[in-house]
Chain A
């Protein structure tokens, strides 16, 4: 996995992808207080699609191999197939009932083991965070497990002379970092425009054999380290927020009139001074 090896074989880039319910459709079931997932259309977690786009751009430039991987139920095949149709070479789904309810500690562990089983990687990309869990802990967690350099919140990745250069959005400015390979970057949402699936890609998916399903036993994952019971954190309860009702004075019509009505209301309600 040294830069020298990368001359001998193509670079291998792994992209961690999670399938999430479409953000706009996120709703809490009023009875069970859990996220309604049934019947909600899914998508690739948006920042993960940006990560994939970075990988595919590097593939175009360096003839890299792009492998997407995910941990979840077989319904995640939908997103993995989309990723392959967009241009990824193949996909791995770690799927096993014992993984259910895993928090970020087992998730990072199980993905790390899967990554080691795939092997031969030079660069790992994840999204900055998911839209359903929004922790952003899994990417750095994987880097911690695998003891890799990590650069978080990146918008651009270049491979220069066998090193990774990445542009990071920090608190006070943008930074360019350089690390040896292999390393891990987490990618900013919206930093590029993910490409659409191509016809050739769709045909490859249709022919089959692009997604491998692995169980924990296949990978050698310790069952005592995954799942709900082996997750350090639990969600003890969820309170629905009752936001105070808003007045909802909505004006529509001719601009002069609506603006006049609005200003009257704002002054009447003493939101702005007359």
Chain B
């Protein structure tokens, strides 16, 4: 329930917090990336950096987290916290924030991070900026929270001047995780938060893990061949795979292709998927909705293959072919093979230093 907490004298609030998410004994990459940026902000404010780790039996994870640059980890260990649930996690965060009054609290803009932040900011009645890509400290010492707006056509600077803590979620792969230093020493603080069994107000009945294709991940590939609704049928992704194989690239997809069940969710590029910055992004049968652009417009070069010359993606293309993908893609594969007698292994992106 709300308590108007946000309006308390803001000078009492001090310190930078990052909410830590783990999985299978490891911190999620968005969490290690948060620690890196949190460290920078804590140093700018001259305050300590604290990681918050609710869970069950998470001591090893807390040790691990310190190595990325934390001064301290607050561990709340409770069987109810073994899996993520909105109510008990929000409860824990709200109570810890009231107890310790941090100035800044950062979350990963993951599904759970957004789920938690959204609930928490209403309970605490304080500001929360979603999906931030950059931070600054302004002249008055406020956190300048910078996020894409209008479908990535601009960047908005969000300030939360009167309320504390200032909260923000951070997109994955925007910040670089600091190197892990196993020698780093920090404090592990155990805290208790009152929880009752009724706080576990949701029961997880079933979990089915996304299939992870063994191949190259789009985030790591120099060339990404991405397919959209224009592919018309899941089996046509085999066409794209052939092209990707010739170029040493990875396959990705638009949300509409994912929602159609053609490829796994883990391959989705865009606002609600992943961000990729390859040397070459090849968009096949993708129209170029703003939510798609949000995940690929920072590619070094963009090649668009679309039958519709008015497809919005052509507006940001370096190269494009207006034509039927079912003719163009096989022809591309043929000509690439002809260029080098079928040997594809060295027709990758030219490394930056050679350009």
Q: Which residues of A contact B (CB under 8 A)?
A: 23-24, 26-28, 33, 35, 103-105, 108-109, 128-129, 131, 134-145, 147, 149-153, 165, 168-180, 183, 189-191, 231-241, 243, 246-252, 255-256, 258-260, 262-263, 265-266, 269-274
B207 and A173: CB pair below 8 A? Answer: yes
B193 within 8 A of A: no
Q: A272-B247, A272-B348 given as contacts; is B290 within 8 A of A26 (CB)?
A: yes
> Which B residues lie within 8 Å of A183 (CB)?
201-202
A144 and B158: CB pair below 8 A? Answer: no
Q: A190-B255, A232-B163 given as contacts; is B204 within 8 A of A177 (CB)?
A: yes
Among A135, A147, A239, contact of B157 (Cβ-Cβ < 8 Å) = A239
Q: What is the chain A residue whose CB lies nearest that of B109?
A: A136
B128 and A104: CB pair below 8 A? Answer: yes
* A252 CA / B309 CA spacing, docked (Å): 9
Q: What is the chain B residue whose CB lies nearest that of A190?
A: B259
Q: Which residues of B contact A (CB under 8 A)?
A: 1-2, 6, 23, 28, 86-87, 90, 110-112, 114-123, 125-131, 138, 144, 148-163, 201-210, 223, 247, 255-256, 259, 265, 271-272, 279-280, 289-291, 297, 301-304, 309, 312, 314, 316-324, 327-328, 331-332, 335-336, 339, 346-350, 354-355
* A190 CA / B131 CA spacing, docked (Å): 21
Q: What is the chain B residue whose CB lies nearest that of A140?
A: B118
B111 and A153: CB pair below 8 A? Answer: yes
> Which A residues lie within 8 Å of B127 (CB)?
103, 105, 231-233
* A62 CA / B94 CA spacing, docked (Å): 37
* A222 CA / B106 CA spacing, docked (Å): 29
* A270 CA / B279 CA spacing, docked (Å): 11
> Which A residues lie within 8 Å of B339 (CB)?
263, 274
Taking A171-B112, A173-B210 as given, write out 16 further A-B residue pairs in contact, using a Cβ cutoff of 8 Å, ordered by the A residue number.
A23-B151, A104-B121, A137-B121, A139-B118, A140-B118, A142-B122, A143-B119, A150-B87, A171-B28, A175-B204, A233-B158, A233-B160, A239-B155, A246-B302, A251-B321, A262-B321
23 pairs of residues in contact across A and B, judged by CB atoms under 8 Å? A103-B127, A105-B121, A108-B122, A137-B118, A137-B122, A140-B114, A142-B122, A150-B86, A151-B86, A153-B115, A171-B110, A174-B210, A177-B204, A180-B201, A233-B159, A235-B156, A240-B153, A241-B153, A251-B319, A259-B321, A262-B319, A270-B355, A273-B349
A144 and B123: CB pair below 8 A? Answer: yes
* A263 CA / B206 CA spacing, docked (Å): 48
| Shortest Cβ distance from residue A109 to the other chain B in the assembled complex, whole angstroms | 7
Q: A134-B131, A137-B130, A246-B302 given as contacts; is B350 within 8 A of A271 (CB)?
A: yes
Among B201, B316, B328, B332, contact of A179 (Cβ-Cβ < 8 Å) = B201
B155 and A238: CB pair below 8 A? Answer: yes
> Which A residues lie within 8 Å of B347 (CB)?
272-273
* A251 CA / B346 CA spacing, docked (Å): 26
**Chain B contact residues: over half helix, strand or loop, or mixed?**
mixed
B86 and A246: CB pair below 8 A? Answer: no
* A151 CA / B350 CA spacing, docked (Å): 46
Among B160, B272, B301, contact of A232 (Cβ-Cβ < 8 Å) = B160
* A167 CA / B327 CA spacing, docked (Å): 39
Q: A147-B1, A234-B161, A252-B323 given as contacts; is B316 within 8 A of A177 (CB)?
A: no
| Shortest Cβ distance from residue A220 to the other chain B in the assembled complex, whole angstroms | 15
B119 and A235: CB pair below 8 A? Answer: no
B130 and A136: CB pair below 8 A? Answer: yes
Among A144, A176, A177, A252, contact of B119 (Cβ-Cβ < 8 Å) = A144
B157 and A144: CB pair below 8 A? Answer: no
Q: A190-B255, A252-B322, A270-B355 given as contacts; is B128 within 8 A of A243 (CB)?
A: no
Which of A153, A171, A183, A235 has the most chain B CB atoms closer than 10 A to its own CB? A171
> Which A residues lie within 8 Å of B327 (CB)?
255
Q: A108-B122, A274-B339 given as contacts; is B348 within 8 A of A246 (CB)?
A: no
A177 and B157: CB pair below 8 A? Answer: no
* A144 CA / B302 CA spacing, docked (Å): 42
* A32 CA / B162 CA spacing, docked (Å): 26
Q: A190-B255, A232-B126 given as contacts; is B318 within 8 A of A248 (CB)?
A: yes
A241 and B155: CB pair below 8 A? Answer: yes
> Which A residues lie within 8 Å of B322 (CB)?
250-252, 258
* A246 CA / B318 CA spacing, docked (Å): 5
| Shortest Cβ distance from residue B84 to the other chain A in the assembled complex, whole angstroms | 9
* A258 CA / B321 CA spacing, docked (Å): 7
* A108 CA / B128 CA spacing, docked (Å): 13
B120 and A144: CB pair below 8 A? Answer: yes
* A241 CA / B156 CA spacing, docked (Å): 10
| Shortest Cβ distance from residue B40 to the other chain A in the assembled complex, whole angstroms | 20
A250 and B314: CB pair below 8 A? Answer: yes
B115 and A140: CB pair below 8 A? Answer: yes
Q: What is the chain A residue whose CB lies nearest that of B249?
A: A272
* A150 CA / B110 CA spacing, docked (Å): 16
A170 and B279: CB pair below 8 A? Answer: no
| Shortest Cβ distance from residue B119 to the other chain A in the assembled complex, whole angstroms | 4
A177 and B202: CB pair below 8 A? Answer: yes
